[in-house]
Amino acid sequence: MILKSGECFQGIVGKPTGLTDVDGKELYIGDVVLVLNIDDYDRSHNRITSQYGLEYVCQNNLDCDYNNDMFVMGIKGSYQNHDGEITQDKEWVVFKVKSFEKVVDGERWGVVRAIL
């Protein structure tokens, strides 16, 4: 299975990324993550006050972009990948909510869809 955004290839589902979510869970291409603004997350009370959305973990396509980075769709320009950890500039919090193993053909999150 692959991911596509329009005609742009966004990765092979199940490929390791070297990224982790806020709880240290490994992220793979095709995982579905919940993206929160840090101001909307109160970890001390395990409470979410609002959410940005559910998005796929993706990989850039050299045909549609200038590099081959792994990223979370929707917040790509807001964070950096340093030694396999998502450094979110204290702006974003990312939680893995669905494994790539449970994604089905045609499933769409944001502008990205899974295709067999």
pLDDT tens, residue order, the chain (116 aa): 999 988 888 889 999 988 888 889 999 999 999 887 766 555 555 555 555 678 888 887 655 555 557 777 767 665 555 555 555 555 777 889 999 999 999 999 888 999 99
Of 18, 7, 1, 6, nearest to 71 by C-alpha is 18
Q: Give the three-class secondary structure for 77.
A: helix
End-to-end, the C-alpha distance of the chain in Å comes to 4
